[in-house]
Amino acid sequence: MKVNDNIFDAIVIGSGISGGWAAKELTERGLKTLVLERGRDVKHVKDYPTTNKYPFEFEHRLEVPLKLREENPIVSKCYAFNEDAEHFFVKDKEHPYKQEKPFDWIRGYQVGGKSLLWARQTQRWSDFDFEGPLRDGFAVDWPIRYSDLAPWYDHVEKFVGIAGNRDGISSLPDGIFQPAFPLNAVEDHFKEALQHHYTDRYVISARCAHLSKPEPIHMEQGRVKCQHRTLCQRGCPFGGYFSSNAVTLPWAEKTGNLTLRPFSVVSSILYDEETQKAKGVRIVDTNTKESFEYYAKVIFVNASTINTNLILLNSTSDRFPNGLGNDSGVLGQYVAFHNYSTRVYADYDGDLNAYKTDGRNPAGGGYIPRFRNLYKQETDFLRGYATGFSASRSTYQDTSSTGAALRDSLLNPKLGHWWVGAQMMGETIPKKEHGVFLDQTEKDAWGVPLVNISVGYDENDDKMSKDFIAQFSEMYEKAGFHNIHSSRDDQPPGLDIHEMGGVRMGRDPKTSMLNEWNQLHACKNVFVTDGASMTSTSTQNPSLTYMALTARAVDFAILALKKGDI
């Protein structure tokens, strides 16, 4: 190692959706930045080996072989874990963790992280979310409001490219949008039925990070219009959807200020007792098992919610015996998620049978913003749910026969009926007893203690699920749907892949880890801007908010560096 080649202006831990943004913003502003990624490198297009394959080009026609499923029962539950994308998911067997309570932890250990795999839904949060804990008396008050984040949502949306309509709904602020992917006939029918029967329930085109009409900035990124393949989890050769791999990391690289180091597990952040700041990080090279130290003036922790908690918990010093910045004792606590357990389905039969769909909708269909307990408390549970709503009409084959009759029916599929499905996305309440902690006995292959997860549902979630079923059954009935039925999985939390908290933001250092700039109250040059920083979970998909928080925190950090504050 050359002298000083381990010194940077900034270090970013993690290269997923928020780490990629930290890298982009820091390098663009001239900071020599080291991005540490525990997994392998994945270069845009070049490292998407399955992206252009037809189903018949997969040995098992996309089915995951039994051995792989049996060895990895948790990740096998994830909807996107199929033969075409299994190489982008962490295998349970390779990276064990402890579950004091069952938790399906879905991970992507590679450059780009889960930004390759995400569901690409990008709804802004609103003050109904940021004011939630204060109004309803849980967690702690968010130290920011929507107006603090609004310009940063703008900033991020312009660069990412979001398809959506300006719907003018108070609980779901409008943003800077490209044309939305329109609803289909039956989704529109439901939208109109809700408008007719309710004053507060809207079906909108789900807003998503797909390019429907690329602007010059997106062409400069080397991306083109989304081609409606909906094979996103394989990585997109068109750059049709946003990922760190396709967008922020190549952008950061172009500045000449980026150093990307894959195969680097961060074991801890190093605290300098003299300067009372973090001086760098210690990593283990996963290939050689050698330890290295890297130093920088500012550190962004974007390792994904649970791993960010793990790194801080494992960063102990005389000053911080219980984890970096953990004066309050709340590090690792108040972890929550989205309740995705409940769905309501129905069939449609009516005039719209004159229509079917053609092609594929990358937005996935409609989105219904939260309507429960919005302006005031109106149920026996706190908060509410947003809903993914979609209608579809596909063809089916009669496979009951054999011989020539069977062949004929396979070659001539029949058009089925329309059906609709609603997926609940419920806010859950962060609690002290729900969180993560270091296992006292077991360590991973790199000498880092295993993380133990203890997060679960509560009575509030149960009541909310029941309400969701009741409300959607009623709404479906009013829309004239029939054969209404619901399902409620007893799946543990985790498959929503929206775990948040543990390093929460707050106004008071006694009850929170981060201030309004995502800066550790007690160690000013460390910023946490991934899901770990979230004070509450809202009902909206959180990635867009992580990106906005990251860009905002980098801006603050750079000013603070210039002023000599950190």
Partner 1 sequence: MNRREAIASMAILAGGMWLMKSCSSDTKSASIILENYKMTKDLEDVLSQITKTILPLEGHEPDEIKNLHLFVMKMLDDCHRKEEQLIFTEGLVELEKGEWNKRAKPFTIASQQERTEMIALLNDMEDNKIKKCYEIIKRRTIQGYNNSAYLMKEKGTYELVPGRYNGYTNV
Rule CB under 8 A: which residues touch partner 1?
A: 52, 54-56, 59-63, 65-67, 181-185, 187-188, 227-229, 231, 353-362, 397, 399-404, 406-407, 410-411, 413, 415
Q: Which C-beta is closer to partner 1: that of 11 or that of 85?
A: 85
Task: Find where tokens 């297009």 sit.
Answer: 45
Single out the residue of 23, 16, 156, 29 nearest to residue 547, CA to CA. 156
Q: Which C-beta is closer to partner 1: that of 401 or that of 483?
A: 401
* Shortest distance (Å) from residue 416 CB to partner 1: 11
* Shortest distance (Å) from residue 63 CB to partner 1: 6
* Shortest distance (Å) from residue 177 CB to partner 1: 17
Q: Which C-beta is closer to partner 1: that of 182 or that of 480?
A: 182
Q: Which C-beta is closer to partner 1: that of 61 or that of 289?
A: 61
Q: Which C-beta is closer to partner 1: that of 183 or that of 344?
A: 183
Residue type, 6: N
* Shortest distance (Å) from residue 190 CB to partner 1: 12
Residue 27: its H or E element: helix 17-28
* Shortest distance (Å) from residue 90 CB to partner 1: 22
* Shortest distance (Å) from residue 410 CB to partner 1: 6
Cα distances (angstroms) measured from residue 348 to each of 183, 191, 390, 472, 476: 16, 14, 12, 14, 9
Q: By the 8 A CB rule, do 136 and 381 touch?
A: no
The C-alpha atoms of residue 457 and residue 180 are separated, in whole angstroms, by 35
Q: Where are the alpha helices (DSSP H) in 145-269?
A: 146-160, 185-197, 216-220, 249-254
Cα distances (angstroms) measured from residue 88 to each of 178, 189, 266, 336, 506: 29, 38, 20, 25, 34
* Shortest distance (Å) from residue 185 CB to partner 1: 5
Q: Which C-beta is closer to partner 1: that of 65 or that of 151?
A: 65
Backbone angles phi, psi at 100, to 5 degrees: -60, -40
HEC string of 208-229 equals: ECECCCCCHHHHHCCCCCCCCC
Q: Which C-beta is closer to partner 1: that of 54 or that of 275?
A: 54
Beta strand 523-528 with 298-301: parallel, antiparallel or unpaired?
A: parallel
Spatial neighbors of 34 by CB under 8 A, at least 6 apart, are: 8, 10, 11, 12, 259, 261, 294, 296
